[in-house]
Amino acid sequence: MKILKTLLIIVSVLAGVFVIWNTTLPSNFEVKRSITMNAPPEAVSHTVSNFNTWPNWSVWFQLDSTMTYELGDPYQGVGGSYSWTSEAMGGGNMSILEYTEGKSMKTEIHFDGQGMSNGSWDFEIQDNGATKVTWGLSGEMGFFSRFIGTQMDKWVGPDFEAGLQNLKSYVESAVAAAEVEASIAHSDSLSID
């Protein structure tokens, strides 16, 4: 009986310590990463707001070969959506809530069985014509998952960095290709005259 009483005291003390410790943790999280791209803000925002382009640059498509996705109708701009399934990363869906071309985009992301988060994109033109792109994720954590929220920057941040680097390569090569095409079209029109 004395052992049972001692165990109950230890469990009660540990539970009390956990509750006190957990209440000191923030109930929300935010992850943000930025990169500068040599492309106009409209080109970057157009690419990001088109979910059909995401498999070309999103790191999560590269990390999991079992990932499949289905585009919504529409799949670009306000109301655009897509859903995914993955053996390693689970499933979910994302939809665009707000979109201002060349300025910003807000999304809502639902993770199957794991809750909802908010995504954000900001496209800021720089003095040299390049675009500073900032990708963000934020959300609320339940009482028992607050510790996970404190780790989100460490867990998701590197994926955002890799995804932004992929997006930079993708957009810059598309912009370069469009410039070459425009130059060829321009020189063809000059030779016709």
- 15-71 pLDDT per residue, tens: 554 555 445 545 677 889 999 999 999 999 999 999 999 999 998 888 888 889 999
Report pLDDT digits (tens) over 80-125. 999 999 888 789 999 999 999 999 999 999 988 777 889 999 999 9
What is the pTM assigned to this prediction?
0.75
Ordered DSSP codes for the chain: -HHHHHHHHHHHHHHHHHHHHHHTS-SEEEEEEEEEESS-HHHHHHHHTBGGGHHHH-HHHHH-TT-EEEE-SS-BSTT-EEEEE-TTT--EEEEEEEEETTTEEEEEEEETTTEEEEEEEEEEE-TTS-EEEEEEEEEE--GGGHHHHHHHHHHHHHHHHHHHHHHHHHHHHHHHHHHHHHHHHHHHHHHH-
- If one counts every other C-beta atom within 10 angstroms of the C-beta of residue 9, the result is 10
